[in-house]
Structure 1
């Protein structure tokens, strides 16, 4: 894959993830009835769910900005890990969260060469 193709692929995947996370956070922040109903079934009150939406947006902003992208990746991975655990705890399907987590890491490895080097290169010091 050429450097230009790699860059384009990374940004296309970033835009897709940004749209998905933005939609998710928007539903939390606007107190969407469906989202609040699902949160209630997990034992999460509306105020806490709104706070989770703010955390999601802040993490996404860090992910989008190239200089803070690795930090954003870690924050979003932790966020999705919490979502997976919450869904497992309540016997809900986890497929979507696992898919988002996978796409997040693929995107991060494509976008951030320093992360790719640390994760995929066998170096001995």
Structure 2
């Protein structure tokens, strides 16, 4: 029996707890991404200071554009009808972040793989809260 089939036969209380766990995980990811996008819009000095060692340009136009992309993707992810599209866009964004960190030789577990950790939480939250995703990506027991 797959996890998706198990979810279909689980008691209502269990289903509710699983869906709420997914919503909480997704909410934490959305809050983090909205914050990250917002500091790129301003842009705060910490953004400029952080991108210099990564080899990215320090002009505000680049960071504002990335902030808009990130905020738009996070909002798409938060809205149930477009959550899969948002998850795909955020995954692409995180892939770029991982590649950038790897290119400059950042520490593996704390910096380079941070985007991978965030992506796992992102897709895990979506999997828990959306039965369509569970049906598409069943987990075997």
Q: Same fold (TM over 0.5)?
A: yes
Shift of 1:102: 1.1
The answer on 1:49 being equivalent to 2:63 is: yes
Q: Structure 1 regions of 5+ residues with no counterpart?
A: none
Per-residue deviation, 1:105: 1.3
RMSD of aligned residue pairs (Cα, Å): 1.7
Q: How does 1:68-107 map to 2 (within 5 A)?
A: 68-92=82-106, 93-107=111-125
1:31 lines up with 2:43 in the alignment: yes
For these two proteins, the number of residue pairs brought into alignment is: 122
Residues 6-29 of structure 1, C-alpha deviation per residue, up to 9 Å, x if partnerless?
Answer: 221111112111111111111111
Distance 2:89 2:74 in 1: 8
Runs of 4+ in 1 over 6 A off after TM superposition: none
Matching of residue 115 in structure 1 with residue 133 in structure 2: yes
Report if the CA contact (8 A) 2:98-2:114 is conserved. no
Asked if residue 20 in structure 1 is aligned to residue 32 in structure 2, the reply is yes
Contact 2:26 2:121 (8 Å CA) reproduced: no
The structural deviation recorded for 1:34 is 1.2
User: What do residues 78-109 of structure 1 show as CA deviations (whole Å, max 9, x unaligned)?
Assistant: 11111101110111231322211111111111
TM normalised by structure 2 equals 0.79
Deviation of the 1:121 alpha carbon: 6.3
Where relative contact order (Cα < 8 A, 6+ residues apart) is larger, the structure is 2
> C-alpha separation between the residues in 2 aligned to 1:104 and 1:119?
14
